[in-house]
């Protein structure tokens, strides 16, 4: 059994304690718990599982409370995993966990959303790609389930013209409700469902004046992600004239099934799990989940458990990494069977300039277009209310109610980024009489520029420029500035760049598993929008648009989901792990200037803890040459190395015959057949050598020969055996070993790559070597 290092144990204790502290209810107060059950343990007198589950709840609760509160059971789960969601007190939950047949009782978790040109940037519109991506009938057979805020069916992105009837294997439904009728589904939107029992149990009944208790999307986020995955081509798409062109999803002929799990007050795990369970039963091929709820140990992470079941059923699962960057160890959704997606920039920008009274000009970005226009060439008074240009303080963030009209009326106001939404700062400035805003990055965001659809003329600038502008405003008695919005520009270099907000590794649950897995476009993404929400998402904004530009790993996740749908349509027999491997081993780690990928947070080269295997390259991913395949049993054997008790492992054994077969050599989690290779040297300094094993499957030419090369490392020698892999048939499997011998124990992880190269293919794996500090 592989042991956790002290740092990991401390980290896991803290996150588990925080999760439990934040979620446990006061004595006697009811809250929702997800209860995982052992299906095989149902006694014979019961004819179905609902009867059995009901009896279990009855056995730990007061019969009187049933009369007062009605049925305690909110959901039952039976496809991706087995169990139920129920309203219980802390004491009842503790009693239930002791009952026979009950595997785990986990408190409800609240999840948050991780909130055009990208197909061309990814190579999906090049003429040379037409043959590779020529439309096939099988394109229509892939259904992507999107767990989000619902869908706006009238959007042109969901036009089904020319699409054939849905696949015969599809078992989904079109649920109706306020603002959503049967005819709102079509051959593009083949399913639409809502999940709100957990949400209502936690927050009270949904106010239908504020949101739709139906699949209709008021928020816009779900419409945006669904269109990014599989939107039909729409010519002339734009946001107020910005990013004008043809908007299309990654897999424009795939189907969409919308599972609405997110509401004004958040997304709750019991609803999300019911959606995953239902989506798998409905027959989705890909699940796109742009949500995150912090990090928990594998056996306490309900989404990890549910997606394990989805993976067993052949469903590819893509999740956003989170927007906690650039802080290290900020990832969510880190299970190895989930494809965890970080965010990057594209080669499109929305330039704007700030011209100071000194005539010095600074470059920034903006998506402002409105009635208020600053006179071109005119200088306006400039003010910064912070006390220090280098470090923000409460007065510099332009918080609601913090600005005095006497100080800002008729002026351009400098606001530091952070604490509140960027567009909300502009609203605060406008209400106080300001005529414009300069939004300055702090150290957290560095030089990363995110454009927003502001309510007044506004320009966002990087940290370095921001400091200079603030210094000028604080030291000059008559500081002035002018703002100019310049529209849309393409061909930006360098790109892609890792977004500063994109969550970072390492994966402290399992240092042997590299996370994130990949990067995809996630900054300034144009896609379809709800007709009920302003582009700024502010209630005071009365503008309505058909398309909006958003940023976040929420936007990068559906890019990967859509490309996975394309791969799945070409290779319907591939496992989820094979699809992930194709995406990872063909990813690139250099920008369009042929330099190593950089990090927007500091303009330094990024590492695999920032970009994973690299940036997706869909054209190459369709034909990767070799894949690293992993089956459900191997994933389970990985869990067997993670110090989980038999009862904790049982939450993953939907099939009662699943047991630890110890297929990973040396019981080392680093021997999971992952496309990334991570050697973790223990605290014991006597361990100087380590050998990891990988197996590749030939999915390229029947007869092919691959030769290996490995980048050099300062702290270790790396030897691969054999150095050549000779394949004679398609689907043939060959294995190799990688031996690491320590020369010098490094204080920081070392990064490199291992490349298998044939006459036609390159198959690259990131390599990470970590030496844990001696005890």
Q: Is 148 labeled as catalytic in the residue annotation?
A: yes
Structure tokens at 612: 């994973």
Vertex 157: Cα angle to 151 and 160 (nearest 5): 95
Compare 40 and 757 and report the one with higher pLDDT. Answer: 757
What is the per-residue pLDDT for 448? Answer: 83
How many CB atoms neighbour CB 533 within 10 A? 23
pLDDT band at 130 (very low <50, low <70, confident <90, very high): very low
Q: What is the mean pLDDT of residues 444-452?
A: 85
Q: What is the mean pLDDT of residues 396-406?
A: 89
Least confident interval from 28-32, 57-61, 218-222, 255-259: 28-32
Collapsing DSSP states into helix, strand and coil, what is residue 269? helix
pLDDT at 296 over 90: no
Non-local CB neighbours of 263 within 8 Å, separated by 6+ positions: 149, 196, 199, 203, 206, 211
What is the per-residue pLDDT for 294? Answer: 76
Tell me how far apart the alpha carbons of residues 189 and 528 are, in angstroms, rounded to a whole number.
14
What is the per-residue pLDDT for 6? Answer: 45
What would the pLDDT profile of 543-567 be if each residue is shown by its tens digit?
899 999 999 999 999 999 999 999 9
Least confident interval from 90-99, 128-137, 252-261, 631-640: 128-137
pLDDT at 27 over 60: no
What is the per-residue pLDDT for 627? Answer: 98
pLDDT at 364 over 50: yes
Which of 36, 140, 221, 571 does the annotation list as catalytic?
A: 221
What would the pLDDT profile of 615-624 be if each residue is shown by its tens digit?
999 999 999 9
pLDDT band at 125 (very low <50, low <70, confident <90, very high): low
Q: By the 8 A CB rule, do 430 and 422 touch?
A: no
What residue spans define the domains of the chain?
Answer: 31-106, 133-347+496-618, 351-487, 626-771
pLDDT at 117 over 50: no
What is the per-residue pLDDT for 139? Answer: 53
Q: What is the secondary structure of 663-693 as a DSSP string?
A: -SGGG-GGGS--SSEEEEE-S-TT--EEEEE
Least confident interval from 79-93, 156-170, 478-492, 647-661: 647-661
Domain 626-771 has CATH 2.60.40.2310: yes
What would the pLDDT profile of 511-524 be if each residue is shown by its tens digit?
999 999 999 999 99
Q: By the 8 A CB rule, do 303 and 293 touch?
A: yes
Compare 625 and 5 and report the one with higher pLDDT. Answer: 625
pLDDT at 528 over 80: yes
Least confident interval from 22-26, 60-64, 72-76, 164-168: 22-26
What is the per-residue pLDDT for 140? Answer: 57
Compare 688 and 139 and report the one with higher pLDDT. Answer: 688
Which of 38, 141, 148, 282 does the annotation list as catalytic?
A: 148
Closest CA to 315 of 32, 584, 601, 79: 79
pLDDT band at 395 (very low <50, low <70, confident <90, very high): confident
Structure tokens at 675: 């496309």
What is the per-residue pLDDT for 602? Answer: 79
pLDDT band at 758 (very low <50, low <70, confident <90, very high): very high
Name the region of 768 (left: φ>0; alpha: ψ -120 to 50; beta: rest): beta
Q: Is 66 labeled as catalytic in the residue annotation?
A: no
pLDDT at 71 over 90: no
How many CB atoms neighbour CB 136 within 10 A? 11
User: Which CATH code for domain 351-487?
Assistant: 3.50.30.30
What secondary structure, in 3-state letters, does 379-409 show? CEEEEECCCCCCCCCHHHCCCCCCCCHHHHC
Q: Is 617 labeled as catalytic in the residue annotation?
A: no
pLDDT at 594 over 60: yes
pLDDT at 685 over 90: no
What is the per-residue pLDDT for 133? Answer: 41
Q: What is the mean pLDDT of residues 490-505?
A: 92
pLDDT at 470 over 90: yes
Least confident interval from 308-312, 562-566, 663-667: 663-667
The domain defined by 133-347+496-618 folds into Rossmann fold (3.40.50)
Tell me how far apart the alpha carbons of residues 45 and 53 are, in angstroms, rounded to a whole number.
13
Q: What is the mean pLDDT of residues 753-773?
A: 97
Which element (helix H / strand E) includes 485? strand 480-485
pLDDT at 256 over 80: yes
What is the per-residue pLDDT for 763? Answer: 98
Which of 302, 554, 561, 758 does the annotation list as catalytic?
A: 554
Q: What is the mean pLDDT of residues 565-581?
A: 95
What is the per-residue pLDDT for 694? Answer: 98
Percentage, residues of the chain above pLDDT 70:
92
Tell me how far apart the alpha carbons of residues 446 and 442 are, in angstroms, rounded to a whole number.
6
Q: What is the mean pLDDT of residues 36-55?
A: 88
Q: What is the mean pLDDT of residues 171-184?
A: 97
pLDDT at 145 over 60: yes
Average pLDDT over the chain, rounded to whole? 89
What is the per-residue pLDDT for 718? Answer: 98
Q: What is the mean pLDDT of residues 487-510?
A: 92
Non-local CB neighbours of 769 within 8 Å, separated by 6+ positions: 678, 679, 681, 713, 715, 716, 740, 746, 749, 750, 752
Tell me how far apart the alpha carbons of residues 756 and 725 are, in angstroms, rounded to a whole number.
9
pLDDT at 9 over 70: no
Burial class from Cβ neighbours inside 10 Å (0-12, 13-18, 19+) for residue 251 reads: buried
């Amino acid at each position: 059994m592989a042991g956790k290092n002290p740092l990991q144990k401390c980290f896991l204790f803290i996150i588990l304690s925080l999760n439990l502290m934040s979620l446990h209810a006061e004595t006697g107060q009811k809250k929702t718990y997800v209860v995982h059950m052992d299906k095989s343990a149902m006694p014979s007198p019961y004819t179905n599982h609902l009867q059995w589950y009901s009896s279990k709840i009855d056995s730990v609760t007061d019969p009187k409370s049933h009369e007062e509160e009605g049925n305690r059971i909110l959901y039952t789960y039976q496809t991706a995993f087995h169990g139920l969601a129920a309203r219980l007190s802390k004491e009842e939950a503790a009693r239930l966990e002791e009952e026979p047949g009950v595997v785990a009782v986990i408190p409800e978790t609240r999840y948050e959303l991780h909130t055009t040109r990208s197909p061309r940037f990814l190579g999906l519109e090049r003429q040379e790609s037409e043959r590779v991506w020529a439309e096939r009938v099988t394109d229509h057979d892939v259904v992507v389930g999107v767990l989000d805020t619902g869908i706006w069916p009238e959007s042109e992105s969901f036009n089904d013209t020319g699409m054939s009837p849905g696949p015969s294997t599809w078992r989904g439904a079109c649920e109706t409700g306020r603002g959503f009728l049967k005819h709102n589904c079509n051959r593009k939107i083949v399913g639409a469902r809502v999940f709100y029992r957990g949400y209502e149990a936690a927050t009270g009944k949904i106010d239908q004046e504020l949101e739709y208790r139906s699949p209709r999307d008021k928020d816009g986020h779900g419409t945006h992600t669904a269109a990014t995955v599989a939107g039909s081509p729409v010519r002339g798409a734009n946001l107020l004239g910005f990013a004008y062109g043809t908007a299309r999803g990654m897999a424009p002929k795939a189907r969409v099934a919308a599972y609405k799990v997110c509401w004004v007050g958040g997304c709750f795990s019991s609803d999300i799990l019911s959606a995953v369970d239902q989506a798998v039963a409905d027959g989705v091929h890909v699940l796109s989940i742009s949500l995150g709820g912090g990090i928990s140990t594998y056996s306490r992470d309900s989404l990890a458990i549910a997606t394990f079941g989805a993976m067993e059923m052949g469903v590819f699962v893509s999740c956003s990494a989170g927007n906690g960057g650039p802080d290290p160890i900020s990832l969510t959704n880190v299970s190895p069977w989930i494809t965890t997606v970080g965010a990057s920039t594209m080669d499109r920008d929305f330039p704007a300039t700030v011209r100071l009274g000194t005539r010095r000009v600074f470059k920034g970005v903006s998506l402002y277009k409105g009635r208020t226009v600053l006179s071109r060439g005119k200088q306006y008074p400039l003010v910064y209310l912070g006390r220090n240009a280098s470090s923000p303080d409460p007065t510099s963030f332009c918080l609601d109610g913090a600005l005095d009209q006497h100080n800002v009326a008729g002026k351009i106001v400098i606001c530091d980024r952070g604490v509140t939404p960027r567009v909300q700062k502009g609203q605060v400035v406008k209400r106080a009489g300001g005529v414009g805003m300069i939004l300055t990055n702090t150290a957290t965001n560095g030089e990363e520029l995110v454009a927003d659809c502001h309510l007044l003329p506004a320009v966002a600038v990087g940290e370095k420029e921001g400091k200079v502008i603030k210094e000028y405003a604080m030291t000059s008695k008559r500081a002035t500035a002018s703002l100019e919005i310049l529209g849309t520009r393409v061909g930006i270099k360098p790109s892609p760049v890792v977004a500063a907000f994109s969550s970072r590794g390492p994966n402290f649950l399992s240092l042997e598993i590299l996370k994130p897995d990949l990067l995809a476009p996630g900054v300034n993404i144009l896609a379809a929008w709800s007709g009920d929400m302003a582009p700024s998402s502010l209630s005071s904004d009365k503008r309505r648009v058909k398309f909006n530009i958003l940023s976040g790993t929420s936007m990068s996740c559906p890019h990967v989901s859509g490309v996975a749908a394309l791969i799945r349509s070409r290779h319907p027999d591939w496992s989820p792990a094979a699809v992930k491997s194709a995406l990872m081993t063909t990813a690139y780690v250099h920008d369009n200037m042929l330099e190593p990928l950089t990090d927007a947070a500091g303009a330094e080269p990024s590492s695999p803890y920032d970009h994973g295997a690299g940036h997706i390259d869909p054209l190459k991913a369709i034909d990767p040459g070799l894949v690293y395949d992993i089956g459900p049993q191997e994933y389970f054997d990985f869990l067997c190395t993670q110090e989980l008790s038999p009862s904790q492992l049982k939450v993953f054994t939907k099939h009662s015959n699943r047991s630890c077969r110890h297929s990973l050599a040396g019981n080392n989690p680093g021997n999971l057949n992952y496309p990334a290779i991570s050697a973790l040297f223990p605290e014991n300094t006597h361990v100087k050598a380590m050998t990891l094993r990988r197996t590749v499957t030939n999915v390229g030419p029947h007869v092919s020969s691959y030769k290996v090369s490995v980048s050099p490392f300062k702290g270790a020698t790396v030897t691969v055996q054999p150095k050549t892999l000779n394949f004679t048939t398609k689907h043939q499997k060959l294995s190799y070993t990688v031996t690491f011998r320590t020369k010098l124990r490094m204080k920081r992880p070392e990064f490199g790559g291992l490349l298998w190269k044939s006459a036609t293919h390159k198959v690259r794996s990131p390599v990470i070597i970590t030496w844990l500090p001696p005890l």
